[in-house]
Chain A
């Protein structure tokens, strides 16, 4: 059974710092991994999706990497801003027709 964990559960950094959020999964046979952002009181917004054949994806100040063999993904946020404050969740899909499995999320606070 696939289990997804995210460490740390919460993170507070000063504005301008670069930071890394971690996602681990127990079954390395995945189809893809997706990172989401959730603002308080809102639904989830997709940030980046990495297919199993890819090693990383980039969008603006965000870079997500995937190491299937070790069951890990990282989300790198460069030059953090207060507007980056949110909860970040990762989710893995075993096959294209399977149910996605979410991690518990990391709550990020960027202090001005």
Chain B
């Protein structure tokens, strides 16, 4: 597609359930980011994938959170045993890295997660 696509756009889940959030980056983009943003708050970095390098997982808040990126394209963020404090919008972004590309970062519209 033309932009970064995220699904689902909205998800309501019961406390304790697992959820999967999907991100389709712009085709060919080598870098992919996941961020979390609680209501009225700033961006919270979660994880960064860059090409074939090991991902930077330094922002994942607990071992309930994990993410993978298959084939260097689509990424899935998984939250296990969801808690109410996990309620937030989860934003995905991608960029084409390298000296020529300029590294402009493009964001998706986010996946709104509500844990009840």
Contact = CB atoms under 8 A, between A and B. Distances in A.
A31 B103 contact: yes
Interface in A26-45: 31-32, 34, 36, 41-45
Nearest to B30: A97
B97 A46 contact: no
Interface of A: 31-32, 34, 36, 41-46, 49, 51, 89, 91, 93, 96-97, 99-100, 102, 104-105
Contacts of A46: 104-106
Contact of B107 (A44, A51, A105): A44
Interface string B101-112: 111111111100
Interface of B: 4, 31, 33, 42-43, 45, 48, 50-51, 56, 89, 91, 93, 95, 97-99, 101-110
Contacts of A31: 103
Contacts of B91: 43-44
A42 B105 contact: no
Contacts, number: 57
Contacts of A51: 102
Question: Chain A at the B interface: mostly helix, strand, loop or mixed?
Answer: strand
Given A42-B109, A43-B91, A99-B48, A49 B104 contact: yes
A55 B97 CA distance: 21
Most buried by A among B50, B89, B101, B103: B103
Contacts of A36: 105, 107
A93 B108 CA distance: 19
Contacts of B95: 100
Contacts of B31: 97
Given A97-B50, A105-B42, A43 B103 contact: no
B97 A96 contact: yes
The 10 closest A-B pairs by CB, nearest first: A43-B107, A44-B107, A104-B42, A99-B48, A43-B109, A102-B43, A43-B110, A96-B97, A49-B104, A97-B97
Contacts of B93: 44
Contacts of B89: 41
A100 B33 contact: yes
A96 B98 contact: yes
